[in-house]
Amino acid sequence: MDINNDRVEIRKQYGSIKRRKILLKSLIIGIFSGLMAVEFRLSLEYSESIRNLFLQYAVSDDSTFPWISSVLFGILIPAIIYLTGKIEPDSGGSGIPHLKGYLEGFNRFRGWRILLVKFVGGVVGIGSGLALGREGPTVQMGAAIGKIFGDYLTTNQTELKILISSGAGAGLAAAFNAPLAGVFFILEELHKSFNQTILVASFVSCIAADLICHLIIGDVPVFHVKILNYPGTDSLPIVLIFGVFISLLGMLFSKVLLISSFYVQNFSLAARMIFGLLVGVVLGGTGLIFPECLGMGTRLLSGILDNQYETGMVALYFIFRFILTVTSYSTGAPGGIFFPMLLLGVLSGSFFGHYFHFAFPEIFDQSVWVALGMAGFFASVVRAPITGTILILEMTSTYELLLPLMIVSIVAYSIPEYFSSKPIYDALLQRDLVRRSLKA
């Protein structure tokens, strides 16, 4: 009887939505979300190229003041924190917890402010070296586009939330060239349920956004993982062990990030600006020694995928990126942890693979661990194993890894669940709600 009542309520909720019209609306939102995602990606690449040129000049013989990078980053990052705090605080950080809060009825959503502050703050902040990613911001900006268009296209609040979700999924699809992952992210992470109207609307928007990305940037995988020898069923026990290993690292990352960000976000705006200044100075100094650790970390990722680093350097890079990501996110500047999580997964997998292949060099390619590390770290932290598996398959085009990816993802998902560790975006939302209640 309860099941029948639930079905009646669902029909009432979605029955007033005309599916043909919402598909057209989702298509429009998907196109504009894709254009936004491409522009944001290209702008970030340009800002990071400027930073790399600046750091190269700082360490050259022509430079009279190599620490100018610390001064510049120490100015720009507090400026972004001030801009975010004064104009639109909801645009700070990843943006995905804020989006979840809106869909659950806790937060307001000011589309234009979030779109503009997130775009400018992300480009300048990540361009200044903050070890954050573009995918979380792209998701929130895609949702903002859904809100902007939705306010004009519908008066139905349920339909509006579907359009906002469609924009968010389209943002993720365009950011990673992964339309199916965008769809499952909406179902598994944002709504945590399956509904045909949401499924079809998000499917249309994700396809449109991904098509825009392919037309402008090209048809290439995000990660170029070269695998010649894939693991067989006899290798599954070691895959299980790796799932345990990566889940523990993911739990550690979630715990440290939550503690650090909660502590710093309770500071006043002035105190957070001082913290941002210190972070900027550290980033400027780090950039003189390890410039590949700053920003998105794409140079570091390329080096790992090409197997350029020894085991000790891989471990050192993991520690550096772990600390820089936690401190960068704690500033509250616009920037996500989506890509940083994947990069930490790559580093974890590479580290594990180095030791494994020292003992068993001929079982399968070491680069297999890179793909498994991304899926496992994502599943452990975000607690969305289906999205993580599909995301890695679409990004790497390594479809022969489906079974090992599923095993690692479910193991990495299950262990934090057993220890009652909250999914990171749910925990960040809960933290924000607690912080606001304390200030009220």
Nearest to 296 by CA among 28, 44, 42: 44
SS3 334: strand
Query: DSSP per residue over 40-73, as a string?
Result: HHHHHHHHHHHHHHHHHHHTSTT-S-TTHHHHHH
CA 18 from centre of chain? 32
Q: Is 360 inside any structural domain?
A: yes
pLDDT in tens, 228-275: 666 777 778 888 999 999 999 999 999 999 999 888 888 889 999 999
Residues 254 and 400 in one domain: yes
Residues 52 and 148 in one domain: yes
In 177-195, where does DSSP find H-type helix?
179-185
Q: Span 402-416, mean pLDDT?
A: 94
Q: Is 7 inside any structural domain?
A: no
The residue that leads in pLDDT, 311 or 186, is 186
**Residue 6: per-residue pLDDT:** 43
Residues 181 and 138 in one domain: yes
C-alpha–C-alpha distance, residues 258 and 275, integer Å: 17
Last residue of a domain, one of 217, 250, 283: 217
Per-residue pLDDT at 327 exceeds 60: yes
Mean pLDDT, the chain, as a whole number?
87
Q: Span 197-210, mean pLDDT?
A: 93
Residues 205 and 288 in one domain: no
Residues 277 and 361 in one domain: yes
Amino acid code (one letter) for 154: T
Q: Is 237 inside any structural domain?
A: yes
C-alpha–C-alpha distance, residues 57 and 65, integer Å: 10
C-alpha–C-alpha distance, residues 26 and 187, integer Å: 16
Query: DSSP per residue over 8-35, as a string?
Result: HHHHHHHHTS-HHHHHHHHHHHHHHHHH
Residue pair 244/411 in contact by the 8 Å Cβ criterion: yes
Residues 128 and 237 in one domain: no
Query: In the structure, what pLDDT confidence band is assigned to residue 115 with cuts at 50, 70 and 90?
Result: very high
Nearest to 433 by CA among 83, 81, 102: 102
C-alpha–C-alpha distance, residues 111 and 262, integer Å: 25
CB atoms within 10 A of CB 6: 10
Q: Span 389-417, mean pLDDT?
A: 91
Beta-sheet strands, E only, within 315-417: none
Residues 175 and 55 in one domain: yes
When divided into structural domains, the chain yields a total of 2
Amino acid code (one letter) for 238: I
Q: Is 2 inside any structural domain?
A: no
C-alpha–C-alpha distance, residues 381 and 371, integer Å: 16
The CA-based dihedral angle spanning residues 45, 312, 304, 169, taken in that order and rounded to the nearest 10 degrees = -70
Question: Cα 260–262–267 angle (5° rounding)?
Answer: 100
As beta bridge partners, residue 334 has: 93
Per this entry, what is the length of the chain?
Answer: 440
As beta bridge partners, residue 93 has: 334
Residues 116 and 23 in one domain: yes
**Residue 211: per-residue pLDDT:** 95
Q: Span 27-56, mean pLDDT?
A: 93
Domain range for 415: 233-439
Per-residue pLDDT at 49 exceeds 60: yes
Query: In the structure, what pLDDT confidence band is assigned to residue 7 with cuts at 50, 70 and 90?
Result: very low
Helix axes 135-153, 338-359, angle to 10 degrees: 150
Q: Is 144 inside any structural domain?
A: yes
Residues 122 and 202 in one domain: yes
Query: In the structure, what pLDDT confidence band is assigned to residue 356 with cuts at 50, 70 and 90?
Result: confident
Query: DSSP per residue over 103-114, as a string?
Result: HTTS----HHHH
pLDDT in tens, 128-160: 999 999 988 999 999 999 999 999 998 888 899
Query: In the structure, what pLDDT confidence band is assigned to residue 364 with cuts at 50, 70 and 90?
Result: low
**Residue 182: per-residue pLDDT:** 93
Residues 211 and 237 in one domain: no
Tokens of 254: 């979630």
Q: Span 84-113, mean pLDDT?
A: 91
**Residue 114: per-residue pLDDT:** 95
Per-residue pLDDT at 196 exceeds 80: yes
Q: Span 357-365, mean pLDDT?
A: 62
**Residue 144: per-residue pLDDT:** 96
Last residue of a domain, one of 185, 217, 249: 217
186-195, 197-206, 351-360: range with lowest mean pLDDT? 351-360
Q: Span 13-38, mean pLDDT?
A: 83
Q: Is 223 inside any structural domain?
A: no
CATH of the domain at 156: 1.10.3080.10
Q: Is 319 inside any structural domain?
A: yes
Residues 205 and 267 in one domain: no
Residues 240 and 150 in one domain: no
Residues of the chain with pLDDT > 70: what percent?
Answer: 89
Predicted model pTM: 0.91
Last residue of a domain, one of 217, 250, 269: 217
Q: Is 13 inside any structural domain?
A: no
Residues of the chain with pLDDT > 90: what percent?
Answer: 58
